[in-house]
Chain A
Amino acid sequence: MFLRLVADSFGRRPRHKLLTGAALALGMGVATTALSVVLDVGDRLAKEFRSLGANLLVTPQADSLPLEIGGVDYRPVNAGAYLPEADLPKLKTIFWHNNIIAFAPILEVPVNTAILPKTISSAFTPSLSTSLIGTWSQHSIWTPDLQTRFVTGIERTNPWWSVEGRWFSEDAADCVIGANFARKTGRQIGDAILVQDGDKGQILKVTGILSTGGSEDDAIVTSIAIAQKISDKPGEYRKLFVSALTKPEDAFARRDPKAMTPAEYDRWFCTPYISSIAFQIQQELPGTDVRVIRRVAEGEGQILTRVQTLLWLVTGAALLAAALAVGASSAASVIERRVEIGLMKALGAGSGMVGFLLAAEQLLLALVGGGIGYALGIVLARMVGEKIFGAAPEPTLLVFLVVIGLAALVTLLGSAIPLRRASRIEPAPILRGE
């Protein structure tokens, strides 16, 4: 009989139920969209922030002090220490290897360049000294843990480097030349350049023009193997840029790991703070000094935290509005049913029974409306995610449970006050229309 009453109520007033349901679905759609976006945004934005480039710098511990002005190191070549390139695949074996999204070693050699004549008859242009930067463009590394190849290179660690033409290929004698260098020497893609350091020389083919806005605009960039050959430093590099996805640092992350209790230390080690990733890289690559590029890392953390807080507040406001509107809707649907309640009471239903019946109706509505709203919200969240980040947020069970729970809570709360008043209704005056 109870179920029949509920079913009858839906059947008899379909339009009202439909509208209350629609309000519910729309309200919960808001909640789902906002929640899905906000839960997903941290990871997405962290990835986006990698367009600022590397946030970790690895240098030899025993290095002499770099004399770097405006991005150019004025040290003599023989000064300072070098690191073995063969160790680099180990970076993908640290605990947070999935968070390391790119790395590229750098070996810089001061060289003399001569532009090869286009025809035999024309003369050699006078030589010009510049720096030759050896690095990776598309280097693939075999990762034993994942059984996949990981491709990395300088265009991933320094995404603002743009190349007109194409990047050099690592196993050919190719190079890209800086835009300023190209302008000064009048070289174009396809030309050949002779680079020399002492008695070692190499002819390189220009495959692209590089523009970075920094000192690299005056340099020649080629594969690290060629730079190693010319500088006579086989298998070595001087500095390594690492771009890692990190969690913004909080007060806990800023504490000194040495002063932590073992439990705290484990927590620190197992959180992708930039300091713990730096520490793990240092363990993996002995003899190195891993430094956090504070300018990138700290700005990133600050902005990420702000944006996340902002979106949580937007979500909170959206939830509040949805809750109020849905609550109002269900309150209205109870208010208008005084006659019906009066009739039920006149027929002998107790206040509890009436309340229970109406609550069951509202809950059923909440389930259906909440479910539809969840589906609607997921679709909208996908649209936002795809439009903005090119990737949709994964629907999670958590959001579903929260949304259904919220729908139930809001409808019940919205109907609670009018229901209490309804339970005090005397049937006779209502039925008489007073």
Chain B
Amino acid sequence: MSELRATNLAMFWRIIRRLLSANRGRLFVMLLALGAGAAVTAALLNLQVDAKRRLTTEFRAFGPNVLIIPKGSLSSSSETLPESTVHLVPVNLPSGRVGVSSALYMIGSVSVPQSGKSLTAVVAGSNPFGFLKVAVVSSSTPTSSPKGPAPSREDVCVAGARFAQQVGAQQNSKLVLTSGDRRESCRVANLRQTGGPEDDRVEIGLRAAQRLVDLSGRISAIELIVPGTPGEIQSYIADLQRQLPDVDVRPIRQFTEGEAKIYNRISGLLTGTVGIVLLLTALCVMAAMTNVAMERKMDVGLMKAIGGATRRVIRLFLVEAVLLGLAGGLIGAAAGMFLSMGLGKAVFGVAAQPRLIVYPVAVGLTIFVAVLSAFPLRRLASIRPASVFRGEA
């Protein structure tokens, strides 16, 4: 009995082999359609996950989005908080590293010995120096490294463009900063134009600023660049506020809210487009496969003529479909993963990370589509072999 079954099984696989290799052209066409579908599925799924994550990184181009300031001191600049608060800010998030910068603002008198002019201006001491580098526009006379952050030495400063214009300072001019009876001097390393309040300021090192107003170890504000989706940023702010009850942690709403809106739109757009593309592609592959399957009346007719039971015939074709789906899926999904890595590199400059979960999903979907498209063969089960051979059906 078992011997008979073994023979049966051997015959089954032999027929499958023959079915697959009988028509090379047809085999190629089926694999092509299934493979293309699998490739696009894998590529788009992988890219979609990756692109959303990358987008949140892109949003950091807008600069700081969270502000830590002394409690209730929104409109007064005189209150300060201890510099050590910076170390209490968690910087390693699952979504990336938080950029942290502390600053001390003051109003001081700035004079330029070179032009003999003097002006009252806002002086910002910051650490790390040149944190706002996204907004640094290299001056008309570029430095040796216009893009890199300014050197973090104590005796250099970055002058805002409008400030520099009014006071007559240029690159490399010397500035003398006075506040009360204290003074500091620095050399302009870079000019900066941001369109924001930084244009009217001089930025110096934090230590120099603290010496200037005799507030060692104090800062006015901490600016954070928090990566992540809008939801992640919200919960980060809430956590931080709980952790630091003595200060105000506030989102810079212009950016957090704007970003949230834009992020939701873009991610909805991606999901929508990718969803429709995948659905239509699946249907398209299915139609193509069904078309191929319909051509196989002769095969079904012949099998029935030599005594194949309907169920066994159907089983043959279903197994064939699974095999085809598996092969097409494996090849196509692999191609798709490479495709998405290439696409990710083209868009974001960083290759998209292959997500292993995408691979089985794409292969599974392909097999599903292949089996579904073999289903019309069921209708062929009812055909009478004789009429097929006479060319009637």
User: Smallest distance from the beta carbon of A111 to chain B beta carbons, Å?
Assistant: 13
| A57 cross-chain contacts in B, Cβ below 8 A | 195
Closest to B72 in A: A180
User: Smallest distance from the beta carbon of B133 to chain A beta carbons, Å?
Assistant: 12
| A53 cross-chain contacts in B, Cβ below 8 A | 254, 258
Enumerate 22 A-B pairs (CB-CB under 8 Å) in ascending A order: A19-B288, A26-B284, A37-B269, A48-B265, A67-B120, A68-B200, A69-B220, A218-B74, A291-B199, A294-B193, A306-B55, A307-B266, A309-B347, A313-B346, A313-B347, A317-B343, A321-B36, A328-B36, A331-B29, A332-B30, A387-B268, A388-B265
List A286-304 residues whose CB lies under 8 Å from chain B.
289, 291-299, 302-303
Q: Are A51 and B257 in contact (CB under 8 A)?
A: yes
Q: How far is the CA of A128 from the CA of B265 in the complex (A)?
A: 43
Q: How far is the CA of A314 from the CA of B274 in the complex (A)?
A: 8
Given contacts A307-B266, A313-B347, contact A213 B251 (CB under 8 A): yes
Q: How far is the CA of A293 from the CA of B163 in the complex (A)?
A: 16
Query: B313-348 CB contact bits vs A (8 Å, 1 = yes)?
Result: 000000000000000000000000001000100111
Given contacts A34-B277, A313-B343, contact A26 B37 (CB under 8 A): no
Closest to B69 in A: A70
Interface of A is mostly: helix
List B191-215 residues whose CB lies under 8 Å from chain A.
193-197, 199-200
Query: B138-155 CB contact bits vs A (8 Å, 1 = yes)?
Result: 000000000000000000
Which of B40, B200, B269, B292: most chain A Cβ within 10 A?
B269
A: residues with CB less than 8 A from B are: 15-16, 19-20, 22-23, 26-27, 29-30, 33-34, 37, 41, 45, 48-49, 51-53, 56-57, 64-72, 74, 130-131, 158-160, 180, 212-215, 217-219, 289, 291-299, 302-303, 306-307, 309-311, 313-314, 317-318, 320-322, 324-329, 331-333, 335-336, 380, 384, 387-389, 418, 421
Q: Which of B39, B119, B166, B281 contacts A322 (CB 8 A)?
A: B281
| A297 cross-chain contacts in B, Cβ below 8 A | 195
Q: Which of A41, A69, A295, A328 contacts B63 (CB 8 A)?
A: A295
Q: How far is the CA of A310 from the CA of B270 in the complex (A)?
A: 9
| A313 cross-chain contacts in B, Cβ below 8 A | 47, 343, 346-347
Q: Which of B59, B74, B77, B294 contacts A180 (CB 8 A)?
A: B74
Q: Are B33 and A329 in contact (CB under 8 A)?
A: yes
Q: Are A326 and B105 in contact (CB under 8 A)?
A: no
Interface of B is mostly: helix
B: residues with CB less than 8 A from A are: 23, 25-26, 29-30, 32-33, 35-37, 39-40, 43-44, 47, 51, 55, 58-59, 61-63, 69, 72, 74-75, 77, 105, 107, 119-122, 134-135, 137, 162-163, 166, 193-197, 199-200, 220-221, 250-255, 257-259, 261-262, 265-266, 268-270, 272-274, 276-277, 280-281, 283-285, 287-288, 290-292, 294-295, 339, 343, 346-348
Q: Are B74 and A325 in contact (CB under 8 A)?
A: no
Q: Are B195 and A318 in contact (CB under 8 A)?
A: no
Closest to A41 in B: B269
| B294 cross-chain contacts in A, Cβ below 8 A | 15-16, 19
| B107 cross-chain contacts in A, Cβ below 8 A | 67, 69, 74
Q: Are B195 and A67 in contact (CB under 8 A)?
A: no
Given contacts A51-B262, A294-B194, A298-B135, contact A19 B200 (CB under 8 A): no
Given contacts A29-B280, A295-B134, A325-B288, contact A388 B346 (CB under 8 A): no
* 10 additional contacts (CB under 8 A) given A214-B74, A320-B36, A329-B33: A23-B284, A30-B284, A37-B273, A49-B258, A52-B262, A68-B197, A215-B75, A307-B266, A325-B288, A388-B269
Closest to A219 in B: B75
| A294 cross-chain contacts in B, Cβ below 8 A | 135, 137, 193-196
| B134 cross-chain contacts in A, Cβ below 8 A | 295, 298-299
Q: Are A325 and B292 in contact (CB under 8 A)?
A: no
Q: How far is the CA of A265 from the CA of B135 in the complex (A)?
A: 26
Which of B51, B193, B272, B348: most chain A Cβ within 10 A?
B272
Q: Which of B40, B58, B269 contacts A320 (CB 8 A)?
A: B40
Q: How far is the CA of A70 from the CA of B77 in the complex (A)?
A: 8
Q: Which of A66, A311, A325, A380 contacts B284 (CB 8 A)?
A: A325
| B37 cross-chain contacts in A, Cβ below 8 A | 321, 325
| B121 cross-chain contacts in A, Cβ below 8 A | 65, 67
Q: Are B75 and A72 in contact (CB under 8 A)?
A: yes
| A314 cross-chain contacts in B, Cβ below 8 A | 44, 47, 270, 273-274, 277
Q: Are B32 and A299 in contact (CB under 8 A)?
A: no
Q: How far is the CA of A336 from the CA of B290 in the complex (A)?
A: 13
User: Smallest distance from the beta carbon of B199 to chain A beta carbons, Å?
Assistant: 7
User: Smallest distance from the beta carbon of A288 to chain B beta carbons, Å?
Assistant: 13
Q: Which of A130, A160, A322 contacts B254 (CB 8 A)?
A: A160
Q: Are B29 and A328 in contact (CB under 8 A)?
A: yes
Q: Are B276 and A380 in contact (CB under 8 A)?
A: yes
Q: Are A384 and B287 in contact (CB under 8 A)?
A: no
Q: Are B26 and A34 in contact (CB under 8 A)?
A: no
Closest to A291 in B: B195
| A380 cross-chain contacts in B, Cβ below 8 A | 276, 280
Given contacts A19-B290, A160-B253, A310-B347, contact A321 B40 (CB under 8 A): yes
| A328 cross-chain contacts in B, Cβ below 8 A | 29-30, 32-33, 36, 288
| B339 cross-chain contacts in A, Cβ below 8 A | 317
Which of B26, B55, B74, B283: most chain A Cβ within 10 A?
B74
Given contacts A68-B197, A70-B105, contact A303 B61 (CB under 8 A): yes
Q: Are B347 and A332 in contact (CB under 8 A)?
A: no
User: Smallest distance from the beta carbon of B389 to chain A beta carbons, Å?
Assistant: 10
User: Smallest distance from the beta carbon of A154 to chain B beta carbons, Å?
Assistant: 13
| B193 cross-chain contacts in A, Cβ below 8 A | 291, 294
Q: How far is the CA of A22 from the CA of B257 in the complex (A)?
A: 44
User: Smallest distance from the beta carbon of A53 to chain B beta carbons, Å?
Assistant: 5
| B26 cross-chain contacts in A, Cβ below 8 A | 332, 335-336
Q: How far is the CA of A16 from the CA of B294 in the complex (A)?
A: 8
| B259 cross-chain contacts in A, Cβ below 8 A | 52
User: Smallest distance from the beta carbon of A42 to chain B beta carbons, Å?
Assistant: 12
Q: Are B280 and A302 in contact (CB under 8 A)?
A: no
Q: How far is the CA of A292 from the CA of B196 in the complex (A)?
A: 8
Q: How far is the CA of A164 from the CA of B323 in the complex (A)?
A: 63
